[in-house]
Amino acid sequence: MKPAKFDYVLPATLDAAIEALVASNGEGKVLAGGQSLLPLLNFRMARPAVLVDLNGIKGLSYIEERGDRIAIGALTRHRDLEHSPLVASRLPVMSAAMRHVAHLAIRNRGTIGGSLSHADPAAELPMLSAFYDARISVQGPAGRRTIAAEEFFVDALTNCLEPSEIVVEIEFPVLDHDGWAFEEVARRFGDFALASIAVSVRRAQSGLKDARIAVMGVADTPLRLREAEQELVAMELNDRTPDRFSEIVVSKVSPNDDLHASAAYRRHLLAQLSRRALKTALAATERAP
């Protein structure tokens, strides 16, 4: 299929991009890597009157350390995140997850701002932003504001952006953890996840003093499982902990049946992945200095 007719603009500044969106009266769409938008145009599931291409704006692609945070520009490609030594050392869970994002050609073009804005419930970067408690900076005609990742994702493929707002930067806090794991199952490597979990833990004298858990593919948005985090920290660590943990994680989600998998299968996958992830994270704490 071919897209419906549209106008195309390539602004050189963020202000000009916002002006073009405002002038389109809600009929404009931002183009970043095009890896999700172009298929939607070709299938005529999206019919914008004007495409506002961000690729002419300098200074939207960067990965920077700012104290205990890593700031990432919206136009940063998936491949840059996958190969960044800074991401590997400061955001290791993201680093491990990036090679699961689609296929090489798509990672070369796809951007973090595009992935978050597209808000696919089975996409890694939205889930990682919930996991890390990322802050998403957006700019529009009313100026700049910052949105917590958990508030950004409203529903499947739906974010909370106002018309004419553009994602410009995402800040990820560096986590203090002794062990972590990222687990995912997809039909083929690089496909969207059927289920996935990220876990990180901090060890105390006995048990854990902190835990972080996020899942995807099992709800309409990525989920940070705060209750499960508290329950994990309250648990005694023994041979039965991973099994109990997987029961707790699965009890917090209610996936739907869909074309790709039944709800029961997604729950089954999540149970297996949760058990495996916690074992990996706990084993790493044994090796932590």
Ligand X SMILES: Cc1cc2nc3c(=O)[nH]c(=O)nc-3n(C[C@H](O)[C@H](O)[C@H](O)COP(=O)(O)OP(=O)(O)OC[C@H]3O[C@@H](n4cnc5c(N)ncnc54)[C@H](O)[C@@H]3O)c2cc1C
**Least distance from ligand X to the Cβ atom of residue 139, Å:** 9
Measuring CA to CA, which residue among 186, 181, 147 is closest to residue 167? Answer: 147
Q: How many CB atoms lie within 10 A of CB 20?
A: 20
Question: Shortest gap between Cβ of 247 and ligand X (angstroms)?
Answer: 28
* Chain length of the chain: 289
Q: What is the DSSP string of 203-240?
A: E-SSSEEEEEEEEESSSSS-EE-HHHHHHHHHSPPSTT
Contact between 15 and 60 under an 8 Å Cβ cutoff? The reply is no
Nearer to ligand X, 127 or 248 (CB): 127
Contacts to ligand X by CB under 6 A: 29-37, 39, 54, 74, 101-102, 106, 109-111, 113-115, 117-118, 123-125, 161, 166-167, 190-192
Q: How far is the CB of 261 from ligand X (least distance, A)?
A: 15
Measured from the CB atom, is 122 or 211 closer to ligand X? 122
> Which is nearer to ligand X, 117 or 246 (by Cβ)?
117
Q: Please, which residue, 106 or 271, has the CB nearer to ligand X?
A: 106
Q: Which is nearer to ligand X, 150 or 191 (CB)?
A: 191
Min dist CB 172 to ligand X, Å, is 16
Tell the smallest beta-carbon distance from residue 260 to ligand X (Å).
12
Three-state secondary-structure class, residue 54? helix
Write the CB contacts of 167 (distance below 8 Å, at least 6 apart in sequence): 74, 113, 116, 117, 136, 137, 138, 161
